[in-house]
Amino acid sequence: MRYFMDISYKGTNFNGWQIQPNGVTVQEEIEKALSTILQSEIAIVGSGRTDTGVHATHQVAHFDTEKVDVEKLVFKLNSFLNQDISINGIRSVREDVSARFEATSRMYHYHINQVKSPFIKELSYYFRPELDVEEINKACEIIKDWQNFECFSKVHTEVNNFNCEIFHARWIQDGTNHRFEIAANRFLRGMVRAVVGTLLDIGMEKTSLDNLREVLKSNDRSKAGRAVPAEGLFLQEVIYPKDIYLN
């Protein structure tokens, strides 16, 4: 049977999601736990990669095994895994469904704090300058109407195209805390952190809305803003069609 797993993790101590030769990853830790508990070699496929230091409120991965008691498996996994990873639930799905390819929408949040705090230093980007939130949200509207985001993609990324459909983009200020929300059908490598870096330049009046349009037209990563640090970024939600679930 095929199962979808709902996962949360704090990415600070991981070299990202995907297994790699050097460094501990989230995927590796979960596969080890599953294989030990189920006494069988289990591989998982995530909805997408997150980079080193990036967190997930809601990551999804699928795996195949014999029929299991999902409530007991969730309990055992959470007992086995360290405190930086939690399994929130497991559901059976159709066997032809992929956690990577069937997702219809992914949402990321980026958190910024303007006042220094030791309690959120690994979960938010400490950034002191004042920002023009109204101007940033005008920039968000421009981004929502665009399709080709090569200018925000890491260079040498092997993809068929750089087109993304943005469903939602909004900057929210709550006192000295800021949150950027963005949802799309897909994201390019490094895209969200590059978007946030560009929006910060607009919020500080270092660049203009007209310049943003020129950056988008250029398809040139070097013309966009810097990539902001990983600690503020969260994979917030992954959405799938309802008819994939068996329970």
Active-site residue set? 51
3-class secondary structure, 167: strand
The H or E element spanning position 247 is none
Query: How many helices (H) does the chain have, and how many strands (E)?
Result: 5, 9
CB 106 within 8 A of CB 186: yes
Kindly provide the b/e burial profile for residues 26-40, where b requires at least 16 CB atoms within 10 angstroms of the residue's own CB.
bbbbbbebbbebeee
- CA angle, residues 125, 141, 175, in degrees to nearest 5: 40
